[in-house]
Structure 1
Amino acid sequence: MTTAKTTGTALLTEGVRAEAAIDLGALRDNLAALDARTGAAALMAVVKSDAYGHGGLRCALEALAAGVRWLGTATPEEALALRAAGIGPERARILCWLWTPGGPWAEALRAQVDISVSGLWALEELVAAVRETGVPGRVHLKADTGLGRNGCQPHDWPELVAAALRAQAEGLLQVVGLWSHFAAADEPGHPSIQAQLDGFTAALEHAEWAGVRPEVRHLANSPATLTLPQSHYDLVRTGLAMYGLSPVPQLGGPADYGLRPVMSLTARLALVKRVPGGHGVSYGHHYTTPRETTLGLVPVGYADGIPRHASGTGPVLVAGRWRRVAGRVAMDQFVVDLEGDTPEVGEEVLLFGSGEHGEPTAEDWGVACGTISYEIVTRIGARVPRRYFGGSAL
């Protein structure tokens, strides 16, 4: 077991069973560190998926207070919620990129949301909504340079560009952005990286030859922002890194890039009890106590976003030492073997955080569960309250 020093400072709000503490000061510092790497390129704060589980509106507002003027969302509903909360176009451009047929095109136009278009079907639905509302669209054309998800394939790119320019000539829209997304920027040296850089150059050259004069060209995500300065263009889209987690952990942790994790997840022991050796623990008895010991009950489970894959592996800090989840993670709770230690019921259990208190990090949980830190923080559920501190005056 790993032994760690504890500070004696309460991290958890009194009376709550579990809490995700969000350090907005760390968020601002991370944005400043990222901005220092981008040169002339502007910074987009990606707040999709409730800001990777950190709270979309609060993180968006903090990013704006830090001087960011671009916000990124996946779904139109996320973009519209930010506008409805009072983040108007005079405060921030909001780009939304994940559209499906029949989406809320008219609402997005009225809210002055920038819209990503990857194919003719989307352009046609957007143009129909422009004719209905009388509100011209701001469009970012997305090229598929090798990721194979959203984006227009090279053989269809000339047709999409030409159709968008025809609509622009009619005053229906303005092509304000050209963009793409990396497949493996988190694997430096991967052959797809240079292939995508070349593919994006070709897409830009054709669009600009055809007459597109974009406000912004953007390709870099978090790992590219940290490791590929040649991909920065006019705008970088920072997601994971702004929340203080390293998108390239094989190269360096957060501190190596001037980042601090923003989220800490803490719970309270709900029960401490002594049991004999050979006692089964949790569903299926996948863990039995090797000897007489004490067990601690942690009142969070997979309904709160604790991965079931953490069964038997998930690390926590309790009573000054690292422990592992004993047996299966259940819907609302899991157990740790305290190895005879007898902390008080109600003592704090640090699941993950910055590591400053000796606790595991989201990266440690990702390794333990065979996944990535992105998933660990994003999946923390709505019934875990968020406590914000260190924020600026909004």
Structure 2
Amino acid sequence: MSLPALDDGTPAQAVVDLDAISDNVRALRGHAPSSDLMAVVKADGYGHGMLPVARAALAGGARWLGVATAAEALALRAGLGATDARLLVWLLTPGAPFADLLRADVDVTAGAPWALDEIAVGARAAGQVARVHLKVDTGLSRGGVAMRDLPDVVRRAAALEASGELRVVGVFSHLACADEPGHPSIARQAAAFADALDAVASAGLRPEVRHLANSAATLTLPGLHHDVVRTGISVYGFSPGPLLGAPSDHGLRPAMTLRARLAGVKQVDAGEGVSYGHLYTTSQDTRLGLVPVGYGDGVPRQASGGSAGPGGPFAVGSGADRRVLRVAGRVCMDQLVLDLGPGARERAGDVVTLFGASDGVAHGAEVPNAQDWAEAVGTISYEIVTRLGARVPRTYLSRGVVEP
């Protein structure tokens, strides 16, 4: 991907390659050729932009789109307009706007005993039959109907289906440790899901789709693919965890590049403390570069570098002069500092890259990716891209052309 020039005066920019999103979806469909694919676009498309990502995912062959909240579902339906794709929302609370969701042709989740009756009320208000997915807790101990409550829930669902308020079109659950190959919980959850499907069938319910596989299971556990695979982080080009290798091992490439323009470069002496608290002290006469992004833009404050360890990685320079440097000192709300070195030739206005579309320096790339940042601060790539702040503009590319 050839990146567009940063506009004059733009301190930072996130470039999202929509072709990478589409290609990632195609690659994931190749991993699960007998299943439909749901692209998860919650949290503003993991920070990439919900609507552009959704359109790119559909272009790549996704048949379903998944979001967490009612507001996301309604915004997504309004933004997409008419489409053959099914939309599913799963994180709902009592009082959720079920009637509005049903009028918008959104599939809704019943993940607790209270939900079925509220969905039925919404269906009567909307004047239509609700499409419901039962979510079962098979061992994550988070959302979903507990296995001990499932017999009562499926009986109630069957009664409401018989009276015409709803139809159970899906059954699903979520895996706890699919990104840890061989973890014993995987087999336990698969068995529990099979029991849940038996309970649903025993109640006379005949769902259209079953879905259990997340990104990790889509890539590594074909026996759990069922009718639909729900892919989140892999849509955006990341391996679901370091134990599963690099993105390119699975035919994926990160879609987002985050860049910033140096706001200033200055010479300092050896022994100078840098940024708040002087966590970092220059070891020699050197040149410091000021980068105008900080935790107000989503850069983790834990990416500070100094006595406690190296900071977050940046790619600086180009060609033979390219090098990976670490944050020097404390990450501030709006800015951070790089120690460019005594012979640095960078100047104010030059572009540096926080992370880009690569396998990352951990796998030999010259440019870090979000997984490198995650490892630097003790988190996951999901958080790095999702936390990117609203004041960082997103620029979208498709076929090498900037999207309007």
Same-fold call, TM cutoff 0.5: yes
Return the match for 2:356 from 353, 357, 367. 353
Distance 1:350 1:165 in 2: 55
* Residue of structure 1 in register with 2:76 after alignment: 82
Amino acid at match of 1:385: P
Amino acid at match of 1:324: R
Distance 1:382 1:12 in 2: 20
TM-superposed deviation, 1:278:
1.5
Whether 1:54 aligns to 2:48 is: yes
* Residue of structure 2 in register with 1:336 after alignment: 338
* Secondary structure, counterpart of 1:266 in structure 2: strand
* Residue of structure 2 in register with 1:373 after alignment: 381
* Residue of structure 2 in register with 1:317 after alignment: 315
Amino acid at match of 2:149: D
Distance 1:380 1:264 in 2: 11
**1:192-341 map, 5 Å:** 192-312=185-305, 313-319=311-317, 320-340=322-342, 341=344
**1:114-263 map, 5 Å:** 114-263=107-256
Q: Is the 8 A contact 2:179 2:244 kept in 1?
A: no
1:76-103 CA-partner distances (Å, limit 9, x unpaired): 1101001111333x42110000001111
Q: Is the 8 A contact 1:12 1:18 kept in 2?
A: no
Q: Give the aligned CA root-mean-square deviation in angstroms.
A: 1.7
Q: Is the 8 A contact 1:12 1:348 kept in 2?
A: no
Distance 1:219 1:66 in 2: 21
* TM-score, normalisation: structure 1: 0.95
TM-superposed deviation, 1:12:
3.9
Distance 2:68 2:39 in 1: 12
* Secondary structure, counterpart of 2:266 in structure 1: strand
Distance 2:198 2:243 in 1: 34
* Secondary structure, counterpart of 1:83 in structure 2: helix
Amino acid at match of 1:317: A
1:292-328 CA-partner distances (Å, limit 9, x unpaired): 1110000000011000010011000112111110011
Return the match for 1:113 from 96, 102, 106. 106
Q: Is the 8 A contact 1:19 1:265 kept in 2?
A: yes
Distance 1:96 1:43 in 2: 15
Distance 2:36 2:245 in 1: 24
Moved more, 79-88 or 189-198: 79-88
1:88-128 CA-partner distances (Å, limit 9, x unpaired): 3x421100000011111111011111001012211111111
* Secondary structure, counterpart of 2:45 in structure 1: helix
Q: Is the 8 A contact 1:11 1:266 kept in 2?
A: no
* Residue of structure 2 in register with 1:3 after alignment: none
* Residue of structure 2 in register with 1:4 after alignment: none
Aligned length: 386
Distance 2:390 2:41 in 1: 16
* Secondary structure, counterpart of 1:316 in structure 2: strand
Whether 1:364 aligns to 2:383 is: no
Q: Is the 8 A contact 1:323 1:338 kept in 2?
A: yes
TM-superposed deviation, 1:10:
5.8
Distance 2:219 2:80 in 1: 32
Q: Is the 8 A contact 2:213 2:230 kept in 1?
A: yes
4+ aligned runs moved over 3 Å, structure 1: 9-12, 391-394
* Residue of structure 1 in register with 2:31 after alignment: 37
Distance 2:99 2:19 in 1: 37
Q: Is the 8 A contact 2:179 2:243 kept in 1?
A: no
Amino acid at match of 1:377: V
Amino acid at match of 1:48: K
* TM-score, normalisation: structure 2: 0.93
Q: Is the 8 A contact 1:272 1:342 kept in 2?
A: no
Distance 1:282 1:224 in 2: 43
* Residue of structure 1 in register with 2:85 after alignment: 92
Distance 1:180 1:239, change over 3 A: same
Q: Which has the higher contact order (CA 8 A, sep 6+)?
A: 1
Distance 1:311 1:170 in 2: 59
Q: Is the 8 A contact 1:12 1:19 kept in 2?
A: no
Distance 1:240 1:375 in 2: 10
